[in-house]
């Protein structure tokens, strides 16, 4: 059931459901989440079950403000304080050392916890109301079945889980791709998953250089500077965010070449690219849409676009590869995973 997210009646009902150990769909500025009381292991188990998510894939805990972080973690490096101070509320998740024995189910019983403070007005109000009744945070992974495309509207959530789920409608998500995840447990901030925030932006806010896992792999001197191993969370999978149709990431030249190729003509094709002269002369159906030229605009519509192509029943989705530059890292990461074939999700 989709309800207006800003109405106090809807929010009260959502809090009542969460208190009763039930799940609620909620908007955030990144994607829609499937939320439950992070401290209630039975409620959290319902998230894993409904999503079909393996229980060793820990969930991000959403909090109202940085004041709640101390409840979950009492070991925060200075750069984590700086990141929270500058970028919260916002699309940034921090991995922190966890206080012993807390939030077991949603952290997959690890010694670390992932925490984010979302900016969306509806999420903020919900978290504030929850806090007032003693709920310190909501575990909320994306509200989609495991491996599938994340939802960026309330209708997408309903398409995933049906009428019975209570979903707060907060409009289309502003960011459109999941949060940037920064590991703060190894002495230096390390990006585990790119999002819309750039490394440059993160480094300025952290007041120390923020590095990536790739930087670590490529530099032995960096490896010596970080503490211990990466958190033992089950990593992000190669195949994820996958629509039903096969996704191919192609250069403009490759698209042109394939479009003139005979065997393409029996395909029902979705094409997300810059305008191509060639399309006017194509003698077979192509559902074409122009890919936005900035990372922010592109991220905002990316998942909705993949879903829309699926809705049209296309066999393949061809996406013109964006630039391989840092500000496109989050989008390229999602597209690569959507285009990854030959895994359990296909
Ligand atoms: P999502 O799939 O968007 O729900 O994001 C969850 C991701 O955050 C996981 O795949 C991990 O990479 C990371 N994560 C979540 N919880 C933890 C945790 N307790 N410790 C370390 N990483 C975590
Ligand atoms: Mg997800």
DSSP single-letter state for residue 242 = B
Q: Ligand 2 centroid to 195 CA: how many Å?
A: 13
Confidence (pTM): 0.94
Atom of ligand 1 nearest to the CA of 61: 16
Sheet holding 180-183, edge to edge: 2-4, 166-169, 24-26, 33-37, 138-139, 60-62, 112-116, 92-97, 180-183, 190-193, 211-212
**Buried b / exposed e along 103-124 (16+ C-beta atoms within 10 A):** bebbbbebebbbbbbbbbebbb
Size (the chain), residues: 346
The helix (H) or strand (E) run that includes residue 166 is strand 166-169
Q: State which of 50, 93, 95 you would mutate to test the pocket of ligand 1, scoring each by most atoms of that ligand within 8 A of its C-beta.
A: 95
Residue 190, φ and ψ in degrees, nearest 5: -130, 125
Q: Given a cut of 60, is residue 345 above it in pLDDT?
A: no
Q: pLDDT by residue (tens digit) across 127-170? A: 999 999 999 999 999 999 998 999 999 999 999 999 999 999 99
User: What percent of the chain lies above the pLDDT cut of 70?
Assistant: 93
The CA 150 to ligand 2 mean position distance, Å, reads 6
HEC assignment per residue over 321-341? CCCCCHHHHHHHHHHHHHHCC
Beta-carbon neighbour count of residue 55 at 10 Å?
A: 14
Residue 346 has pLDDT above 50, yes or no: no
Q: Whose CA is nearest to atom 19 of ligand 1?
A: 113
94 CA distance to ligand 2 middle (Å): 16
Ligand 1 interacting residues, C-beta cut-off 6 A: 57-60, 95, 107, 110, 112-114, 141-142, 178, 181, 192, 231, 233, 236
With 50 as the cut, is the pLDDT of residue 302 above it? yes
- Rounded CA separation 160/99 (Å): 34
Q: Is the pLDDT of residue 342 over 60?
A: no
CA 160 to ligand 2 center in whole angstroms: 13
> Which residue has better confidence, 248 or 236?
248
Structural domains of the chain, ranges and CATH numbers in brackets? 2-223 (3.90.870.10), 246-338 (3.40.50.11030)
pLDDT at 260 (0 to 100) = 82
Q: Quote the ligand 1 centre to 51 CA distance (angstroms).
A: 15
- Give me the mean pLDDT over the 3-25 stretch: 98
Average pLDDT over residues 312-328: 95
Do residues 233 and 108 make contact, with C-beta atoms less than 8 angstroms apart? Answer: yes
pLDDT digits (tens, 9 = 90+) for 60-93: 999 999 999 999 999 899 999 999 999 999 999 9
Q: How far apart are CA 288 and CA 304, in angstroms?
A: 14
Spatial CA neighbour of 250 closest among 270, 230, 231 = 270
pLDDT at 114 over 80: yes
Ligand 1 atom, smallest distance to 179 CA: 3
What pLDDT is stored for residue 340 in this prediction? Answer: 82
pLDDT of 339 over the 70 cut: yes
Can you read off the two tokens belonging to residue 187? 């002495």
CA distances from 13 to 4, 103, 127, 166, 338 (A): 11, 24, 13, 9, 35
The pLDDT of residue 7 is 96
């Amino acid at each position: 059931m989709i309800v207006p997210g800003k109405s106090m009646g809807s929010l009260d009902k959502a809090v009542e459901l969460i208190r009763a150990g039930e799940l609620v769909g909620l908007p955030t500025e990144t994607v829609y989440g499937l939320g439950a009381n992070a401290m209630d292991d039975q409620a959290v188990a319902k998230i894993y079950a409904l999503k079909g998510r393996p229980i060793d894939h820990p969930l991000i805990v959403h909090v109202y403000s940085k004041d709640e972080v101390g409840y979950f973690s009492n070991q925060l490096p200075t750069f984590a304080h700086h990141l929270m101070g500058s970028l919260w509320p916002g699309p940034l998740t921090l991995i922190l050392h966890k206080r012993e024995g807390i939030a077991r189910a949603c952290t997959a019983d690890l010694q670390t916890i992932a925490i984010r403070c979302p900016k969306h007005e509806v999420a903020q109000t919900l978290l504030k109301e929850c806090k007032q009744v003693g709920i310190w945070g909501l575990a909320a992974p994306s509200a989609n079945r495991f491996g599938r495309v994340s939802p960026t509207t309330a209708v997408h959530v309903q398409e995933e889980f049906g009428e019975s789920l209570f979903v707060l409608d907060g409009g289309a998500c502003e960011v459109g791709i999941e949060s940037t995840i920064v590991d703060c447990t190894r002495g230096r901030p390390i990006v585990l998953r790119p999002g819309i925030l750039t490394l440059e932006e993160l480094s300025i806010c952290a007041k120390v250089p923020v590095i990536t896992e790739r930087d670590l792999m490529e530099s032995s001197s960096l490896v010596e500077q970080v503490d211990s191993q990466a958190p033992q969370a089950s990593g992000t999978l190669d195949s994820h965010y996958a629509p039903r149709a096969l996704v191919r990431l192609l250069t403009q030249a490759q698209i042109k070449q394939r479009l003139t190729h005979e065997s393409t003509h029996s395909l029902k094709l979705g094409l997300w690219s810059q305008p191509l002269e060639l399309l006017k002369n194509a003698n077979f159906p192509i559902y074409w849409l122009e890919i936005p030229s900035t990372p922010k605009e592109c991220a905002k519509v990316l998942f909705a676009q993949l879903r829309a192509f699926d809705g049209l029943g296309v066999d393949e989705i061809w996406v013109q590869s964006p630039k391989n530059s840092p500000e496109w890292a989050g989008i390229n990461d999602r597209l690569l995973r959507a285009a990854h074939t030959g895994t359990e999700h296909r």
